[in-house]
Chain A
Amino acid sequence: MMMRKSANTILLLVAVAFCYGLQVSKPRYGDLIGPIPARGKLGDTVVGRGFEVHAEKIEFARKLTVDQYGQSKVLTTGGVWAVVTVEFAARAQSTVVSVASWRGPTGLTYDQTERLSFMNGLLPVALDPGLPRKARLIFELRPDEVSNATLLVSEKLVAALDSQAEISLGPVTVAADGLPAGTVDMLDMAQPL
Chain B
Amino acid sequence: MLESARSRLKAWIVAGVGTAAAIAVAGVLGAFAARHEPLPALAPAGRIETGQWLLRPLKAYATAEKYTYGALLRPGGKALVLELEMTNRTAKSTKDYFDLLQASQKTVDPATKPFIVLTRDSTMSPELHPGMPERMAYIWQLPDGAAVPASFNLTVISKTYKPRDNLYGLPGWFNPTPIGTMTIPVGAGPDGADMQP
**Chain A residues within 8 Å of B, Cβ to Cβ:** 28-30, 73, 75-79, 101, 107-111, 113-115, 140-142, 145
Tell me which residues across on chain A come within 8 A of B176, comparing CB atoms.
none
Q: Are A142 and B127 in contact (CB under 8 A)?
A: no
A1 to B118, CA, bound (A): 75
**Nearest Cβ on chain B to A43's Cβ, whole angstroms:** 26
**Nearest Cβ on chain B to A56's Cβ, whole angstroms:** 24
A114 to B93, CA, bound (A): 11
Q: Are A76 and B120 in contact (CB under 8 A)?
A: yes
Q: Mark B103-137, 1 if CB is under 8 A from A, else 0.
A: 00000000000000010110100110111111000
Tell me which residues across on chain A come within 8 A of B121, comparing CB atoms.
73, 75-76, 115
19 contacts between A and B (CB under 8 A): A28-B164, A29-B168, A30-B168, A30-B169, A30-B171, A73-B121, A77-B120, A79-B129, A79-B132, A101-B93, A107-B91, A108-B131, A109-B91, A109-B93, A110-B93, A111-B93, A142-B129, A142-B131, A142-B132
A144 to B127, CA, bound (A): 20
B-side interface residues, number (CB < 8 Å): 20
Q: Mark B163-182, 1 if CB is under 8 A from A, else 0.
A: 01000111100000000000
Q: Are A110 and B123 in contact (CB under 8 A)?
A: no
**Supplied contacts A30-B169, A113-B127, 11 more A-B pairs, CB within 8 Å:** A28-B169, A29-B169, A75-B120, A76-B120, A78-B132, A78-B133, A107-B91, A110-B93, A110-B130, A115-B118, A142-B132
**Nearest Cβ on chain A to B58's Cβ, whole angstroms:** 15
A110 to B93, CA, bound (A): 5
**Nearest Cβ on chain B to A101's Cβ, whole angstroms:** 7
Let me know if B92 is at the binding interface, CB within 8 A. yes
Q: Are A114 and B126 in contact (CB under 8 A)?
A: yes
A142 to B88, CA, bound (A): 12
CB-CB contacts below 8 Å: B143-197 with A:
164, 168-171
Q: Tell which of B118, B129, B134, B171 touches A141, judged by Cβ atoms closer than 8 Å.
A: B129
Q: Are A108 and B91 in contact (CB under 8 A)?
A: yes
**Nearest Cβ on chain A to B129's Cβ, whole angstroms:** 5
Q: Are B170 and A30 in contact (CB under 8 A)?
A: yes
Tell me which residues across on chain B come within 8 A of A110, comparing CB atoms.
93, 129-130
- Most chain A beta carbons < 10 A, residue from B92, B121, B129, B168: B129
A107 to B171, CA, bound (A): 15
Tell me which residues across on chain B come within 8 A of A78, comparing CB atoms.
132-134
A103 to B93, CA, bound (A): 11
Q: Are B123 and A115 in contact (CB under 8 A)?
A: yes
Nearest residue (CB) in B for A29 is B169
A109 to B90, CA, bound (A): 9
Nearest residue (CB) in B for A108 is B130
A141 to B126, CA, bound (A): 14
- Most chain A beta carbons < 10 A, residue from B120, B123, B130: B130
